[in-house]
Chain A
Amino acid sequence: MRTSLLLTTLILLALCCAVFSLLSGSVATGWGDLLAALSGNADPTTSVIILELRWPRTAAAFVTGALLALAGGLMQVLLRNPLADPYVLGISGGAASGALLAMLLGAGTLLLHGTAFGGALFSMLLVFGLAHGSGSWTSHRLLLTGVVVAAGWGALIAFLLAISPDAGLRGMLFWLMGDLSHAGTPLAGGVLLLVGLVTCFGLGRSLNTLAHGANVAHTLGVNVDSLRRAIYLLASVLTASAVTLAGSIGFVGLIVPHMLRLLGVRDHRLLLPAAALLGGSLLIIADTLARTLFAPRQLPVGVLTALVGVPLFLLLLYRTRNGTGTREYG
């Protein structure tokens, strides 16, 4: 019962955030305009503003936030490390290097998406291969390999920024901080998100055992090696897809799963879908603020995720500082 209550609340929250986003912008629009646009009765200008400008961006924000929060939750279980986020293993570094290289060569949006996604997948396979090596696939080994590969990408990104002409730097920096202004309707991302959610639902109980450690999971009958590989692949593809949509938006993947844990949600069958909903909502709010606060100037959404997320997270942490976390959902 508490499970469905929490999910219903989060779905309502996501809808409220979406409406807030659809109604906000430089052109004043009200409830009437929104309903008219949705039913096809609005005047053409309002219709274009709501359905063709704001709707794709709102959907992209939701999908990106959901992908990142889901991937973050998965990475934290995989690495059994509360500091893990979707980017800790270098996925975003690979994507960023690909994207910046494409920008440097003056490529168009489509090619940029392709190189970003390709860079992310390349980084994923590189870390996977290196961490596998000849020894066993422990969380520590994977984490160290990922962190070192990410540092390598960081150097490459700095190099690409250094040799880029000044004119291109602004676009590159926006991409690195995360920016939804060129995202477009997130069809592929949405499909991947659904696939991810369904998979997580199937893996949920095994993930609960893995959170207690590989040996515990094994003695409870989980095939730990295949489970870890599945989580790694899934989290990587989700992250790659999010980064391709909107650049490296930080913070969402790290804090959203923790916010839910602080609220007492620890069962991964509930935690992961809840994280997707909350991550999506958070990113819609952040992006709406990013495009309206200093309009007509737009801020990179990555700046806002931290500005919105940091106080929210600290408040939650402060409220549960005694560590008992007595509220439970189950």
Chain B
Amino acid sequence: MSLLVAQGLTVSIAGIPVCHALDLVIEAGERWCLLGRNGAGKTTLLHTLAGLHRPDSGSLSLAGEDLSGIANKTRARQIGLLPQDHTDAFPATALETVLTGRHPWLGALQWEGTDDYRIARNALATVDLADMEARSVDTLSGGERRRLGIATLLAQDPQLLLLDEPANHLDIHQQVRMLDLVRQQAVSDSKALCVVMHDLNLATRCCDRFLLLFGDGESAQGDATAVLTRENLQRLYQHPLHRIEGPTGTVWIPE
């Protein structure tokens, strides 16, 4: 059964159309990328898929069940979101922050057990933050906080990972490392990804399916050869682009 199915999904924010009658099927193991200009509604669509934003019309179903009818806790075990940006009013330590990812897996009065601590520490080690577990989050750099967010999502262990600009604040090495890491989640654990990104070259490296939001409610979807055409991308970004075949595959360079 498909993991997440959107049928006739119409979403708008502040009167601006994001997508109109969008049909989208996300299967386990698929790696989707959401592309679009600033303000095209990528985050809004991602939040809609996460159940944070109500669509104007259309339906969303998770493993065959209507998304709005699913208990919060059940949904949180299936869908996880890395937000684009967030600030902590009262910074916790790195380990405490990652442990919040275990919330949907624990009973109401249950405390985190040794398994949860093991999962959280593994997640920290995966993003190279193992020696920072006792550090307060407000003393971490922007890139370290980004990796902490990814670790929290890994600790939550959902089937569908929604990531809003995961490469923000990361250096080149960590961009590649973190995207390979989430890519691996899909390849080896048959999880599904839906990633919002601005860097086309990182996007093609990480994802194999693309949803282009043109900003007027229209969209295009498919694999790289079908939708990542010069015509589509120039329409998407309203900027001339050059296509170059590089050693790692196709590269797009703005004029």
Asked, given contacts A215-B81, A216-B86, whether A208 binds B136 with beta carbons under 8 Å apart, the answer is no
**Nearest neighbor of A222 in chain B, beta-carbon distance:** B72
Enumerate A209-256 residues with CB–CB distance to B below 8 Å: 209, 211-213, 215-216, 218-223
Q: Is the CB of B76 within 8 A of A221?
A: yes
Q: Give the A-B pair count, Cβ closer than 8 A.
A: 95
Cβ-based interface call for B101 (8 A): yes
Enumerate B88-116 residues with CB–CB distance to A below 8 Å: 88-93, 95-97, 100-101, 103-104, 106, 108-109, 111
Q: Which of A80, A212, A223, A326 has the most CB of B within 10 A?
A: A212
Interface size classification for chain A: 20 to 34
Tell me the complex Cα distance, A223–B139, Å.
30
* Nearest CB of B to A259, in Å: 13
Cβ-based interface call for A267 (8 A): yes
**Nearest neighbor of A221 in chain B, beta-carbon distance:** B76
Asked, given contacts A209-B100, A209-B103, A215-B52, whether A221 binds B72 with beta carbons under 8 Å apart, the answer is yes
Q: Is the CB of A211 within 8 A of B89?
A: yes
Q: Is the CB of A261 within 8 A of B90?
A: yes
Cβ-based interface call for B80 (8 A): yes
- As a 0/1 sequence over residues 60 to 97 of chain B, the CB contacts with chain A under 8 angstroms (1 = contact) are 00000000000011111101110100111111110111
Enumerate A268-300 residues with CB–CB distance to B below 8 Å: 269
Asked, given contacts A219-B81, A220-B100, A323-B139, whether A213 binds B86 with beta carbons under 8 Å apart, the answer is yes
Q: Is the CB of B108 within 8 A of A202?
A: yes
Tell me the complex Cα distance, A43–B93, Å.
55
- As a 0/1 sequence over residues 168 to 209 of chain A, the CB contacts with chain B under 8 angstroms (1 = contact) are 000000000000000000000000000000000110011011
Q: Is the CB of A220 within 8 A of B88?
A: no
Q: Is the CB of A211 within 8 A of B50?
A: no
Residues of A within 8 A of B135 (CB): 324, 326
Residues of A within 8 A of B74 (CB): 221
- As a 0/1 sequence over residues 33 to 49 of chain B, the CB contacts with chain A under 8 angstroms (1 = contact) are 00000000000000100
Tell me the complex Cα distance, A105–B83, Å.
56
* Nearest CB of A to B59, in Å: 20
Q: Which of A76, A80, A215, A326 has the most CB of B within 10 A?
A: A215
Residues of A within 8 A of B75 (CB): 221
* Nearest CB of A to B104, in Å: 4
Q: Is the CB of B104 within 8 A of A220?
A: yes
Q: Is the CB of B104 within 8 A of A221?
A: yes
Cβ-based interface call for A325 (8 A): yes
Asked, given contacts A215-B83, A222-B103, whether A82 binds B136 with beta carbons under 8 Å apart, the answer is no
Q: Is the CB of A211 within 8 A of B76?
A: no
Tell me the complex Cα distance, A266–B92, Å.
6
Tell me the complex Cα distance, A219–B84, Å.
13
Tell me the complex Cα distance, A82–B93, Å.
17
Q: Is the CB of A221 within 8 A of B73?
A: yes
Q: Is the CB of A218 within 8 A of B72?
A: yes
Residues of A within 8 A of B73 (CB): 221
Cβ-based interface call for A311 (8 A): no
Q: Is the CB of B97 within 8 A of A212?
A: yes
Tell me the complex Cα distance, A219–B51, Å.
8
Residues of A within 8 A of B180 (CB): none
Other-chain residue from A201, A208, A324 in contact with B96 (beta carbon distance below 8 A):
A208
* Nearest CB of B to A70, in Å: 16
- Besides the known contacts A216-B86, A324-B136, 14 further A-B residue pairs in the complex with CB atoms under 8 A apart: A76-B89, A80-B89, A82-B90, A202-B109, A205-B106, A208-B103, A212-B86, A213-B86, A215-B52, A221-B73, A221-B74, A269-B111, A325-B136, A330-B95
Interface residues of A (CB under 8 A from B): 76-77, 80-82, 201-202, 205-206, 208-209, 211-213, 215-216, 218-223, 261, 266-267, 269, 323-326, 328, 330
Q: List 15 A-B contacts (CB under 8 A).
A: A205-B106, A208-B96, A209-B103, A213-B83, A213-B88, A215-B83, A216-B83, A219-B79, A220-B76, A220-B156, A221-B103, A269-B111, A324-B136, A328-B93, A330-B95
